Amino acid sequence: MCLDFTKLDKAMILEHLEKLTDYKKKEDPVLGSKKPRDAIWATFPNKHGTLIQKSLLEFMRCINGWDGKVEFKFVTDSSTRDAFFDNLVFNKDFEIAILFECKRNIKNVSAPYEENFKRYEEICKLHAKDLTKELGFSGKNQKLFFSIFDAYGRGTNSHSKGIRITRPSDLSKLFPSCLSDAWASLEY
């Protein structure tokens, strides 16, 4: 398999899984408190987006030549001050960087998020040289892309609403096929 699992931070993944099912005991004024087992599963839908984001990054970092950062922010001027991307992955040998915004299902995204996506796309176009320079790229063929990773979405087209959409089935077009296989293993 082309994934180098020695790079995989198993302890971090286990820690995130534990936090995913961590819950704060809250008392409902009408129904009372939930049993611990029920409360754990009630927290899952609210927290699993972060697990998607971090799992995707960990798998990508296991591909030879690729590295990345989670919750990446870069500031070149006041227009980028509050730009905050879920994942940045890059390959210095190929001089390619991809900024991913991870969503569970792009069809269910509200209008304010859609505006952010357009803004992020524009920031990537305007500041590609600044970001690739920050990553240490030195060649003339540097590429920076923005894409939304639509983890569970079905049937969205690849440029929905003018923004590049990457679905799990598209991962093998961008990365070695073992990444798609690894991601598919999470769906079972």
Show the domain range for 28.
Answer: 10-186
Establish if 1 belongs to a structural domain. Answer: no
Q: How many CB atoms lie within 10 A of CB 138?
A: 10
Q: How many CB atoms lie within 10 A of CB 169?
A: 11
Mean pLDDT for the stretch of residues 46-75? 82
Mean pLDDT for the stretch of residues 26-30? 59
Specify the pLDDT at position 10: 62
Establish if 4 belongs to a structural domain. Answer: no
The pLDDT tens digits for 104-155 are 777 777 777 788 888 888 888 888 888 888 888 987 889 999 999 888 766 5
Mean pLDDT for the stretch of residues 151-169? 71
Q: Which of 15-19, 22-26, 62-66 comes out lowest in average pLDDT?
A: 22-26
Tell me the pLDDT band of 48, cut-offs 50, 70 and 90: low
Q: Is the pLDDT of residue 31 over 60?
A: no
Pairing mode, if any, of strands 27-28 and 32-33?
antiparallel
Q: Is the pLDDT of residue 21 over 60?
A: no
Q: Which of 9-18, 61-70, 105-114, 179-188 comes out lowest in average pLDDT?
A: 9-18
Establish if 149 belongs to a structural domain. Answer: yes
Question: For residue 63, what are the contacts with CB-CB under 8 A and spacing of at least 6?
Answer: 2, 3, 4, 175, 176, 178, 179
What's the number of domains the chain is made of?
A: 1
Q: Tell me the whole-structure pTM to 2 decimals.
A: 0.75
**Using alpha carbons only, what angle is made at residue 114 by residues 109 and 115, rounded to the nearest 5 degrees?**
150
Specify the pLDDT at position 94: 92
Mean of pLDDT over the chain = 77
Establish if 129 belongs to a structural domain. Answer: yes
Tell me the pLDDT band of 39, cut-offs 50, 70 and 90: low
Establish if 74 belongs to a structural domain. Answer: yes
Q: Between 30 and 67, where is the model more confident?
A: 67
Specify the pLDDT at position 164: 87
